[in-house]
Amino acid sequence: MQLEVIDRIRPTLVPGSHPYMTGPFTPNYEEVNAGELEVIGEVPKRLKGVYLRNTQNPVHQPRGTYHPFDGDGMLHLLRFDEGRCEYRNRFVRTKGFVQEQAAGRALYAGLIDRPSLAELPGWGARGGLRDSAATDVIVHAGSALATFYQCGEPYRLDANTLESRGVSAWSEEVMKDGGISAHPKVCPRTGDLLFFNYSKTAPYMHYGEVDRHDRLVHYVPVPLPAPRLPHDMCFTENFAILNDFPLHWDESLLAQGRHKLVYREQQPSRFAIVPRRHAPQDGIRWFEASPTYVLHWLNAWEEGSEIVLHGYHQATPMPRGGYDNKGATLGPERYGPTLYEWRFDLATGRTRERRLDARALEFGMINARYWTRPYRYSYNMIAHPGSFLFDGILRYDHTTGESQEYRFGEGRFGSESPMAPCHDAAAEDDGYVVSFVTDMNADRSECMVLDARDLARGPVARIVLPHRISSGTHACWADASEIDLSFYSGSHAQGNRP
């Protein structure tokens, strides 16, 4: 292995002071480049691109009570090229991260703290928070984009080197409304970035689009009756799909500066069908459905007069006894998420819905080339009981209802596992499923590559990483053709603030 240590961050964190700072959640503080990695098996030569994962890595001892989503963002990258691999990891150097590094201590409140604990004004939908860009990562306009689920600025990094590229210039336009939430989407047909944000001031939510040249080209309000907590979005060829679920802040307590979640099961779920920028701007259509909450969507498409939407319907959005404020209620199985289908008829205004499978699944991915189109296969994470960890991957055939799965093994936990189509793929499932796996038995991490058509066969390759990495939230795959190495070298670079 060739190993180059780029930086060592000095923490002030008290080791073991929270369950989500130990074991598989132990933070990383070394930033490295590594090549000539140990490979068990053979890396497929038809796999060309990058696998990116975002993780929470707390550096400083919290000012108040730590929440697992408070940690500083760190991206991990594994680049595949002609059977060779290279690994890198870097902290996302947000403004809050830089400020706290200069101060040598925490300056901001955590998710479950009072905003008054913060020494500096914070970012996002809640207020008082540090924008850590630690939730999601995608590739758009040739570069990686890291985002925070409570909204913040769009942080750019080079998708090959993880060199910081600063904040997209268009963020100035949207920061007055909270910025951009995690889970923006990139349309495989147009290259446009589709995003939303939300806040505690009217109209409470907005929808926007950024073109493939990283220019804001569309931005409209999506009025809600009060502050809400949307987490993800979906889209079709002509529409974006946003939501208003009955799990949200208790409005009566917000006036007192208190943030408490409440689930009003007497309220229906509501879905906003918002025209995309190229579609006729005929207004937003709202559809109602059974009460629930959905963290993540799989896909949506147009079928006749209907919009078909697939995601993970929660049976119990509010855990019994409420939230414990320490992360013990984060395990997906606590909410009973199952594969589910909604159909919104634009001609009649009616909603139809049905459960596709009864098993508890979440954090699913599909071949992203099939976004906005009917698809057949999804790759879903199997939750580890009682914790925000994953035990395996389940491939679900949406045509036959058949499934197959691969389990990582006792003491081994995976990450969100995108389907990586081969650069010359001839079919929807012609490719691989990629996942970072932390092995607590061997005290190491590896990248596992599985044949997307035959998960049960086990990995075709296991690439050993130079250090054990922390468990985190979201990940993505980007084909080499999606990464433009010259993107920031020309005049466009002047449009991005350093």
Q: Region 191-200: what's the mean pLDDT?
A: 97
Q: How far apart are CA 193 and CA 174, in angstroms?
A: 14
Q: Is the pLDDT of residue 205 over 50?
A: yes
- Give, as one character, the DSSP assignment of residue 97: H
Question: In terms of Cα–Cα distance, which of 66, 53, 74 is closest to 13?
Answer: 66
Question: Is residue 497 domain-resident?
Answer: no
Confidence of residue 327 (pLDDT cuts 50, 70, 90): low
Name the residue type at position 12. T
The pLDDT score that the predictor gives to residue 494 is 33
The pLDDT score that the predictor gives to residue 487 is 40
Distances in Å between the alpha carbon of 403 and those of 313, 379, 380? 19, 10, 10
Question: In terms of Cα–Cα distance, which of 330, 150, 351, 336 is closest to 268?
Answer: 351
Question: Is residue 371 domain-resident?
Answer: yes
Percent of the chain past pLDDT 70, that is, above it, reads 95
Half-sphere exposure of 118 (CA within 13 A, CB side): 20
Question: Is residue 132 domain-resident?
Answer: yes
- Report pLDDT digits (tens) over 276-307: 999 999 999 999 999 999 999 999 999 999 99
The pLDDT score that the predictor gives to residue 133 is 97
Question: Is residue 381 domain-resident?
Answer: yes
Instruction: Find where tokens 């336009």 sit.
Output: 173
Q: Is the pLDDT of residue 381 over 80?
A: yes
* Residue 212, C-beta contacts closer than 8 angstroms, at least 6 positions apart: 140, 141, 190, 191, 192
Question: Is residue 482 domain-resident?
Answer: yes
Pairing type for strands 269-275 and 285-289 reads: antiparallel
- Give, as one character, the DSSP assignment of residue 268: P
51 and 80 in contact (C-beta within 8 Å)?
yes
The pLDDT score that the predictor gives to residue 142 is 95
- Give, as one character, the DSSP assignment of residue 276: -
Confidence of residue 466 (pLDDT cuts 50, 70, 90): very high
| Region of poorest pLDDT, from 202-211, 242-251, 332-341 | 332-341
- Report pLDDT digits (tens) over 29-87: 999 999 999 999 999 999 999 999 999 999 999 999 898 899 999 999 999 999 999 99
The pLDDT score that the predictor gives to residue 255 is 83
Number of domains in the chain: 1
Question: Is residue 153 domain-resident?
Answer: yes
Confidence of residue 128 (pLDDT cuts 50, 70, 90): confident
Q: How far apart are CA 414 and CA 436, in angstroms?
A: 6
Question: Is residue 498 domain-resident?
Answer: no
Question: Is residue 495 domain-resident?
Answer: no
Q: Is the pLDDT of residue 262 over 70?
A: yes
Percent of the chain past pLDDT 90, that is, above it, reads 85
Q: How far apart are CA 295 and CA 104, in angstroms?
A: 34
The pLDDT score that the predictor gives to residue 331 is 74
Q: How far apart are CA 361 and CA 381, in angstroms?
A: 6
Q: Print the domain residue range for 375.
A: 2-488
The pLDDT score that the predictor gives to residue 325 is 55
Name the residue type at position 47. L
- The H or E element containing residue 171 is helix 171-174
DSSP assignment string, 439-488: ETTTTEEEEEEEETT-GGG-EEEEEE-SSPPPPEEEEEEEEGGG--TTTT
- The H or E element containing residue 251 is helix 251-254
Q: Is the pLDDT of residue 122 over 80?
A: yes
CATH at 385 = 2.120.10.30
Q: Region 383-410: what's the mean pLDDT?
A: 95
Q: Is the pLDDT of residue 18 over 90?
A: no
